[in-house]
Amino acid sequence: MNPAQEEAVEHQNGPLLVLAGAGSGKTRVITHRIARLMERGVPAHMICALTFTNKAAGEMAERVSHLIKERRLGGREHGKGIVISTFHSFGLMVLGRERKSLGGTFTIFDQGDCLSAVKEILSRTDAGKKFDAAAIVTRISNAKNAFISAEEFAEREGDDYDEMTKLVYPRYQSALKSFRAFDFDDLVCEVGRLWKEREDIRDRWQKEFLYVLVDEYQDTNRAQLEVLRLLSDRHKNICVVGDDDQSIYAWRGADVRNILDFDEQFPGAKVVKLEQNYRSTAPILAVANAVIAKRADSKYKKSLFTDKPGGEKVRLGVAASPEAEAAYVARELRRIIREEGRKPKDCAILYRSNGQAKLLEEQLREQGVAYRMIGGQQFFERKEVKDILAYLKVALNRADEISLRRVLNYPPRGIGDTTVEKLSQHALGKGWSMWEAIERVDGLDGIPTGAREGCAQLERIVSDLRKQLMVDRAKASSVARDLCQVIGLRKDIDHTSTSTNAATRRWSNVEGILGVFARREARVTAKGQDDTAERELMSFLHSLTLQMDTEEEDPGNVVTLSTLHGSKGLEFDVVFLIGCEEGLIPHQRTLDVKASDTTVQDVEEERRLFYVGVTRARQRLDMTRCKFRVSRGKPMPRTPCRFLMDIPDELIEPFEVKDAAMMTTDAMQEQATNLLAMLNSLGGKT
């Protein structure tokens, strides 16, 4: 370790802020710090490390386990009991253990469930149909991330959407309570509220964890800050590692002030800077430093450096059009893969907006370059997977109305929208849950015979599922497989898919979730645990909601296409950063903001986003921009990105991107020259 890393690892008690520049070995610091604490006698179960993705948590846990075994710490248990997880998984653990204080078993709503709940509320609200439900969900989510309750939100001034949110937010919370459900944001917010309101519960958790460590601290929101403050308030042993230069998620609630004001939130904090970069070459770091040095909102200045000699100069290409830009990138990728032997998986194309990817995809296909796009539909968001999970959730919690509505008429069993509305009205009028209305459907007016039979069929299916899971204690994998047969899922998929390939792909998703259950059961069995109890299965269903980044298949040896936001945490030997123009980066939405203070903050976040893109490159960085882009049918001149203006000329190698016509002419000239040379070499032999 270098001196700065060692200083962070050796710090014992009290708050610690580690400002870790891009590629400076922050994960190494966290893992070695955990091992050092254990060397000093801190019990493993009193250490809690939090991060943001399942992938990051898994990698951290693996490295900690290796260090513990290597140093022979923790005896035969090898550090068993350390909590290394995402914030939301940690919140789920807390809420699960405190479920008696929260009213018992609960369900976790994903984004689709939340959207359905809000749509239902809007449909019953005067003028509600005029509003976009997704925008209301976003406002509620932002409020929760800022630790603002429905009552506090009602006191705020705002636009028409804020006014509608004031009406929907409390009703949405009441709906969650009646469904015995929490949404994704509640996994953090409700922990904070529980600890604020219940000193006895807070005291117990403070005693449980003596040391708290946080990765990617610049991405925390106000609710997460509140949880961390309450958890560490007794002992003050909180170590956070992050980089304010890489704070790029304000749009989803992250607050850069959390890291900038850490010393105010946690008085007496020690600050350590990690500036030695182990990822990129010196020319790339020089460009990154030049861009980030112009930050207007920086409190902690850092300058990355490396002891690696040499490296290619950063190149800036100017193309006539987006088509020429995309063609250049695809051709160059094809060339370096075939001629230089670069691995496709070590190459990436980064852009500000998803709309920029279309031309790239066309050109990559034309050049025969395989690729993957980050940000496609996640495994657990696929329809077939959600349908199976919804059946199991209803079997365990019949108050989960969102899951119930999902499977009520799937596959079709004669329960149309009109019947669903009548069932809902009967339930509302009599104070029943939706499930109770289904159970008593024979006594309700206005329900067609076919729909009554459909309700009875659903009741039998769900009752049988409950019996298998809760009485027979059958394995979830076999129960789910039987369910697919009972409801005729394969037949429905074949019937409703647009092609044979689509049907095959959809059924592979079904096999995928069955495989997830089987692998989980094998792991639990290996640990000697009972995997069929109701509570254990519900806990597992909860955890699936939080595993959006873990079940995707390995994309293989292909080029990566990603937005700049999606590239955070990744690194590649070769990076093409395209569209370096005003209106793309910084984005036009940022430039259109009227309030001057907001504009400054948003533009500075765009600067940090550009910096993130630059620092993804290990060995080669090509940046490109266009002279013209078509807008409303007319070619419009484009202005270079302002962040390019902050880079000294001597750090950049400019070049002109040739369009397809010029490339064709050049290729013909080259072929003619080669043919002439060949004829000359033959001489009189012809």
Residues annotated as catalytic are 26-27, 215-216, 246, 616
Decide: 458 and 420 in contact? Cβ < 8 Å: no
Query: Beta strands 47-51 and 652-656: pairing type?
Result: unpaired
In three-state secondary structure terms, 74 is coil
Q: With the CA atoms of 539, 544, 547 and 551 taken in that order, what torsion angle do they form, in degrees rounded to the nearest 10?
A: 130
In three-state secondary structure terms, 14 is coil
370 CB-contact burial (10 Å; exposed 0-12 / middle 13-18 / buried 19+): middle
CA distance 118 to 176: 11
One-letter identity of residue 511: E
Decide: 185 and 131 in contact? Cβ < 8 Å: no
Measured in Å, how far apart are the chain's first and last C-alpha atoms? Answer: 69
CA distance 213 to 33: 9
CA distance 78 to 627: 59
One-letter-per-residue 3-state SS of 18-72: EEECCCCCHHHHHHHHHHHHHHCCCCHHHEEEEECCHHHHHHHHHHHHHHHHHCC
* Angle (deg, nearest 10), helices 186-197 and 222-232: 40
Decide: 238 and 204 in contact? Cβ < 8 Å: no
One-letter-per-residue 3-state SS of 622-682: EEEEECEEEECCEEEECCECCCHHHCCHHHEEEEECCCHHHHHHHHHHHHHHHHHHHHHHH
Distances in Å between the Cα of 161 and the Cα atoms of 134, 140, 141, 513 are 11, 11, 14, 38
Kindly write down the DSSP assignment for every residue of 446-507, as one continuous string.
T--HHHHHHHHHHHHHHHHHHIIIIIS---HHHHHHHHHHHTTHHHHHHHH-SSHHHHHHHH
Query: Beta strands 634-637 and 628-631: pairing type?
Result: antiparallel
- The structure tokens listed for 452 are 């009554």
Closest CA relative to residue 397, chosen from 180, 97, 186: 180
Distances in Å between the Cα of 160 and the Cα atoms of 166, 360, 553 are 10, 39, 43
Contact partners, residue 546, CB within 8 Å, separation at least 6: 54, 86, 88, 89, 92, 108, 187
Say which DSSP state 174 is in: H
- The structure tokens listed for 1 are 């370790």
CA distance 549 to 378: 7
Location of structure tokens 């695809």? 330
